[in-house]
Chains A and B, each alone.
Chain A
Amino acid sequence: MARRAVATKAKTQTNSPQFNKEQELSAYHDMLLVRRFEEKAGQMYGMGLIGGFCHLYIGQEAVVTGVTMASKKGEDAQITGYRDHGHMLVMGLEPRGVMAELTGRAGGLSGGKGGSMHMFSLEHRFYGGNGIVGAQVSLGTGLAFASKYKGDGSVSIAYFGDGAANQGQVYESFNMAKLWNLPVVYVIENNKYAMGTSVERSSATTDFSQRGQSFDIPGEQVDGMDVRLVHDAAERAIEHARSGKGPYILEMLTYRYRGHSMSDPAKYRSKDEVTKYRQERDPIEQVKARILSEKHATEDELKEIETKIRAIVTEAADFATNDPEPDASELWTDITISA
């Protein structure tokens, strides 16, 4: 049956799962890469280099980092919505390719034709990058169907928001996933808001980990700001799915620091709430503090990591600024495949 973890108390849990030095440093690196990349993207948006919608992942870095650490890179499939930059960076897609897609250039991951919300990589088994809220849940279930059909042992990880969790196709997918015991892990990134609507105002029940109950899908609520807890829960969920027991739901309690997209009046929440999360729960600061107190690295060594990441991000931004726009002939390519 479904079970729950008491996520909000995770910080004070005594037997919380620990990371070794390598894991701490790897998590720190990946989360910082996402943070710095997204800050840069926000800046470039402000400069008019990025158009349309641009949904930043700042604050939620621990979720995709912990889950991806628990997955088999290049084998397990991942799919998400439009808040997708972090997923790609942590999965190992080229930062310059992501940034150049944000600016709509030829060197972007979709050749400039997709934009912020639509990037993909078959090599990394990343299936987007989806603009329609909830669509990725059925699609991710389909990736799991293919995995079972082919018997390739891979797991599909489908991320979606608290807002998306109310779409009908989520429950249609849950039913099929359990009916056929498909190897899929549903990761609900509950950042408390869907645009300006808080979870309390949109949802009859707000414990999303229990949304699979009537389909007999186990679920856990996880402190999504602590990458160790995310990783620990994800290992359990992925193992469950890979061993043929069917779907698993992880509700990650997380928070986005920035607005929904770049233009967001943010009147629906208080400054205090945002500040509190940033100061007391920041996923990167948590790892950093542990690294220093455990003496996994010195301040200087962490600075060095930061410097390297800044260089990567700067290089990506430069590339994305100077790379040419796609050739005009690209307007007419990739519509259908001529057999």
Chain B
Amino acid sequence: MELLKIENYKKSFGATEVLKGIGFSLDRGETLAIIGSSGSGKTTLLRCLNFLETPDEGRMYLDGKLLFDASGPRAGDAEIREKRLRFGLVFQNFNLFPQYTVFENLCLAPKLLAAERPDYRQKKEAYLAEIEEKATGLLDKVGLTAKRDAYPCSLSGGQQQRVAIARALANSPDILCFDEPTSALDPELTAEVLNVLRSLASENMTMIVVTHEMKFAAEVASRVIFMDEGVIAFDGPSAEAFGENCPNERLKSFIGSIEK
């Protein structure tokens, strides 16, 4: 079932056109890997999906409903904020909030959101209990229950990234995006993060993962998009992308250049 559809996303920074008409769709429960050389626009695409950048052109449909249209009226802050909640984003360098414990990092945004509900006053206890229960479950899921009250600065990079994933999940996004989640990590720490992604994929979380981990992409992603200079040069099943008879020469040489 189609969850997300992107049509003709274009984005320029000044004179540089970074996205030159990106279109793809994503089914619910699918894991999509986006690969491509540095500077091809992968980060910019994820930022557009998360409304950190506004595309110059294009439309986004979520669940069949138009969520963004560049030619429509400019959305206000509150509207963007609401739309943004449909997505989560895990950054390359984690961006945890250093002054909060792991558990507080998970609960902060959901609690602020709950406080905006009209019936918050009457149901405060219930809301908070629900948020904390969910956060506890998420910490268990990423294997960091023991670090519940630790501060981010005391964690390894891999642990911080797992907290960041749990924090993104605490908002229950429809689609979770990852921007090279392991490239700031020492090699021995990437596995623990990839394992979390693996288990999320097996639970049918809808995910878009920008990654340079080809083995991981081949194994976990059902589909691969190869970006090349702002366009999608390949979009197909990962078996095809990483298989012997990959139809796209540039993709083939790109995968070859990374795996060697």
Partners in one complex: no
- Which A residues lie at the B interface, using CB under 8 A? none
- Which B residues lie at the A interface, using CB under 8 A? none
